[in-house]
């Protein structure tokens, strides 16, 4: 199993541009999550999903959108990039146990 | 809602010494407390967890203790090695499928 994979690894965006961060898991997990990690800070939940077709907001959803059309994929969309969205983004998934499995992260710089 | 505070934010120890990281939580209904380790440039990875029906759990050089009365739980690393250098996060549940993370502790083990 590859676990949780994320693409791209790194991206530079200009203010106002849009992009989609991809996340895929091959563990057949129902639960998936998007977090952002700012320097020296913990993980803040952006959006989460409890199954295909079901998504909900986390602590910091403003400026982001998600979709969950399949069990495997949970893309995160930034519509109008702002400098405040400069961060490292982690996708995670979990099955019936509580353990969350994290991807390697996407580092995003908005200039 | 649930809140998790983590201390210290940075910790420097000599190789072979012990390291202790402490977290406090606010929701007395919380019953699952994981610890994650994040190495440089990688996603967090679960290293140990504890449930509220036990007071201590060990896994080789790592142990976690839980004090439900005081609402705090701690990570203990004995005989520290340079490869233990990383950022450590505690977490507590805010629902049956969501976690809230502490702000992290950067551990440096000096050779």
Residue B1, pLDDT above cutoff 80:
no
Closest of B77, B61, B66 to residue B20, by C-alpha: B77
* pLDDT recorded at residue B30: 79
Closest by Cβ to B43, choosing from A90, A94, A98 = A90
CB atoms A43 and B89 under 8 Å? yes
Q: What is the full per-residue pLDDT of chain A (111 aa) written as tens digits?
A: 789 999 999 999 999 999 999 999 999 999 999 999 998 788 999 999 999 999 999 999 999 999 999 999 999 999 999 999 999 999 999 998 889 999 999 999 999
Q: What is the mean pLDDT of residues B91-104?
A: 91
A54 interface with B at CB cutoff 8 Å: no
* pLDDT recorded at residue B27: 83
- Share of residues in chain B with pLDDT > 70 (%): 100
Chain B residues with at least one Cβ partner in A under 8 Å? 6, 9, 32, 34, 36, 41-46, 49, 89, 93, 97-104
Dump the DSSP string for B1-21.
---EEEE-SEEEEETTS-EEE
* pLDDT recorded at residue A23: 98
* pLDDT recorded at residue A76: 98
* pLDDT recorded at residue A14: 97
CB atoms A43 and B101 under 8 Å? yes
Residue B20's pLDDT band (cuts 50, 70, 90) = very high
Per-residue pLDDT of B47-79, as tens digits, reads 999 988 888 999 999 999 999 889 999 999 999
- Share of residues in chain B with pLDDT > 90 (%): 78
Q: Among A32-36, B1-5, B26-30, which stretch is predicted with the lowest mean pLDDT?
A: B26-30
In chain B, residues with a C-beta closer than 8 Å to the C-beta of A92 are 43
Dump the DSSP string for B57-105.
EEETTEEEEEETTTTEEEEEE-S--GGG-EEEEEEEESSSS-EEE---E
Closest of B13, B102, B7 to residue B61, by C-alpha: B13
Return the residue matching tokens 């995160």. A76
Residue B33, pLDDT above cutoff 80:
yes
Closest by Cβ to B43, choosing from A31, A50, A102 = A102
Closest of A26, A12, A37 to residue A95, by C-alpha: A26
Closest by Cβ to A100, choosing from B99, B102, B103 = B99
Q: What is the mean pLDDT of residues B20-47?
A: 92
Structure tokens, A51: 């199954």
Q: Locate the chain A residue with the closest alpha carbon to B103.
A: A42
Cα B16 to the center of its chain, rounded Å: 19
* pLDDT recorded at residue B6: 96
CB atoms B43 and A40 under 8 Å? no
Closest by Cβ to A104, choosing from B42, B46, B49 = B42
Q: Locate the chain A residue with the closest alpha carbon to B88.
A: A42
């Amino acid at each position: 199993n590859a676990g949780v994979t994320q693409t791209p690894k790194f991206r530079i965006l200009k203010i106002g541009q849009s992009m989609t961060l991809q996340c895929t898991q091959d563990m057949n997990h129902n639960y998936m999550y998007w977090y952002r990690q700012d320097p020296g800070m913990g993980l803040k939940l952006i959006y989460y999903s409890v199954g295909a077709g079901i998504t909900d907001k986390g602590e910091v959803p403003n400026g982001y959108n998600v979709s969950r059309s399949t069990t495997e994929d949970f893309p995160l969309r930034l519509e109008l990039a702002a400098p405040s969205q400069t961060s490292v983004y982690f996708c995670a998934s979990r099955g019936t146990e509580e353990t969350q499995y994290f991807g390697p992260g996407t580092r995003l710089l908005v200039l | 809602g649930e809140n998790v505070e983590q201390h210290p934010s940075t910790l420097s120890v000599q190789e072979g010494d012990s390291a202790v990281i402490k977290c406090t939580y606010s929701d007395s209904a919380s019953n699952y407390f994981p610890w994650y380790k994040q190495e440089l440039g990688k996603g967090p990875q679960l290293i140990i967890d504890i449930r509220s029906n036990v007071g201590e759990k060990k896994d080789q050089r790592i142990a976690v203790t839980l004090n439900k009365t005081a609402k705090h739980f701690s990570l203990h690393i004995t005989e520290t090695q340079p490869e233990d250098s990383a950022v450590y996060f505690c977490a507590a549940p805010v629902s049956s499928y969501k976690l809230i993370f502490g702000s992290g502790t950067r551990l440096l083990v000096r050779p």
